[in-house]
């Protein structure tokens, strides 16, 4: 089965496990606004704080903006923005 692709600026599911150290480890993937995929990870004493840390990391990576082009944009639209 194929995984759905994470959209630009979107954080994927946060997965939490407890390694032998006994602390909570939260991990997730995030697609940056430029479409680069980043793997985020945080370790903390509580699950909530580990999840919050991953969310903070994701917010720090994104610009919070929206793209100027959409799937329906034409080449002329892209050229106009580029020039």
Q: Which of the pair, 41 or 71, is modelled with greater confidence?
A: 41
Tell me if 58 sits within 8 A of 11, measured CB to CB: yes
Provide the pLDDT confidence category of residue 62 given band limits of 50, 70 and 90: confident
Determine the Cα–Cα distance for residues 54 and 70; give it in Å rounded to an integer.
28
The b/e string for 20-40 (b: 16+ C-beta within 10 A; e otherwise) is: eeeebbbbbbbbeeeeeeeeb
- Give tens-digit pLDDT for 19-31: 999 999 999 999 8
Q: Provide the 3-class DSSP secondary structure of residue 59.
A: helix
Give residue 70's pLDDT: 77
Provide the pLDDT confidence category of residue 10 given band limits of 50, 70 and 90: confident
Give residue 66's pLDDT: 63
pTM > 0.85: yes or no: no
């Amino acid at each position: 089965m194929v995984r759905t692709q994470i959209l630009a600026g979107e954080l994927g599911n946060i997965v939490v496990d407890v390694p032998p150290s006994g602390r909570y480890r939260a991990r997730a993937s995030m697609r940056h606004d430029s479409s680069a995929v980043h793997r985020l990870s945080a370790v903390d004493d509580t699950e909530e704080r580990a999840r919050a840390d991953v969310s903070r990391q994701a917010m720090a990576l994104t610009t919070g903006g929206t793209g100027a082009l959409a799937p329906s944009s034409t080449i002329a639209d892209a050229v106009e923005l580029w020039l």
